[in-house]
Chains A and B, each alone.
Chain A
Amino acid sequence: DQQVKQNSPSLSVQEGRISILNCDYTNSMFDYFLWYKKYPAEGPTFLISISSIKDKNEDGRFTVFLNKSAKHLSLHIVPSQPGDSAVYFCAASALGGANSKLTFGKGITLSVRP
């Protein structure tokens, strides 16, 4: 039973446009959410996080939106750059933030076309 779902395996966008990566979760105990980016042959790199007490968090070109009632979050990248091409993982934890067990989705492969 997958508790964190990234239903779209891939996304392709034009450079300069917005990339929207979606993530759904089923476990109501999740209260902290993170996005990681992964390049081939490297470990996941932290991008941005959001606590369940917020509905939006922004860091430069990256914004994460959380809709608790829909158990849905999304990562917006504006403007998208070719260097953003990577696999993006959505992750969630319960009652412990980043120190607790992280449950990951399967990932979305983002391709940004020049």
Chain B
Amino acid sequence: DAGVTQSPTHLIKTRGQQVTLRCSPKSGHDTVSWYQQALGQGPQFIFQYYEEEERQRGNFPDRFSGHQFPNYSSELNVNALLLGDSALYLCASSVQGGGTEAFFGQGTRLTVV
């Protein structure tokens, strides 16, 4: 079992650019959540996808958007990047209606310069 996989592992972008991060959930999981972890902080919830729809959203601007595909994989898109978007982006997968924990990927380290 591959667990939750994220790509790429590291990324450097320029202010104003757009970025797409990818996540494949753990086998058997149908729900994907995205978190942003700034340096010295805990992960902050961005949004959650289930059945290809955004189900919950945290306090993030519309520049942050996502998508879930029929195979349950997911993308996180960030437009008009700001320096403050530099962070570790974590994807977590779980089973809707079951399971006791969410499994996290290793994250994508995004640096905006």
Q: B68-76, B79-87, B93-101: which one contacts chain A?
A: B93-101
Tell me the nearest residue of chain B to A87, going by C-beta: B42
Neighbouring A residues of B44 by C-beta, 8 Å: 104
Q: Establish whether residues B99 and A98, one from each chain, have CB atoms under 8 Å apart when the complex forms.
A: yes
- In the complex, the answer to whether A101 meets B58 with C-beta atoms within 8 Å is yes
Within 8 A of B (CB), among A41-93: 41-46, 49, 89, 91
Q: Is B113 part of the binding interface, using a Cβ–Cβ cutoff of 8 Å? A: no
Q: Collect the chain B residues with CB atoms within 8 Å of residue A98's CB.
A: 94, 99-102
In the assembly, what is the distance between CA of A36 and CA of B105, in Å?
13
Find out whether the CB atom of A106 lies under 8 angstroms from the CB atom of B40. Answer: yes
Chain B residue total in the interface (Cβ 8 A): 29
Does B96 contact A99, Cβ atoms closer than 8 Å? yes
Give every chain B residue within 8 A of A45 (Cβ-Cβ): 104
Check if A104 sits within 8 Å of B101, measured CB to CB.
no
Contact A49 B105 (CB under 8 A): no
Residues of A within 8 A of B43 (CB): 44, 89, 102, 104
Q: Are B45 and A44 in contact (CB under 8 A)?
A: no
Residue total for A at the interface (Cβ-Cβ under 8 A):
24
The answer, yes or no, to whether B65 is at the interface (CB within 8 Å) is no
Q: Verify B105–A101 contact, CB threshold 8 A.
A: no
Contact of A105 among B31, B42, B45, B97 (CB under 8 A): B42
Is there a chain B Cβ closer than 8 Å to A21's Cβ? no
Instruction: Let me know if A102 and B90 touch, CB within 8 A.
Output: no
B56 in contact with A100 (CB, 8 Å): yes
* Alpha-carbon separation in the docked complex, A104 to B88 (Å): 15
Residues 4-20 (chain B) with a chain A CB within 8 angstroms:
4, 6
**A99 close to B97 (CB less than 8 A):** yes
What would be 25 A-B contacts, judged by CB atoms less than 8 Å apart?
A: A4-B42, A6-B42, A34-B101, A41-B106, A43-B4, A43-B104, A43-B105, A44-B43, A45-B104, A46-B103, A98-B101, A98-B102, A99-B48, A99-B95, A99-B96, A99-B97, A99-B99, A99-B102, A101-B48, A101-B58, A102-B33, A104-B43, A104-B44, A106-B41, A106-B42
Kindly list the 9 A-B residue pairs having the minimum CB-CB distance in the complex, ordered from nearest. A104-B42, A43-B104, A46-B101, A101-B45, A43-B106, A44-B104, A98-B101, A98-B102, A104-B43
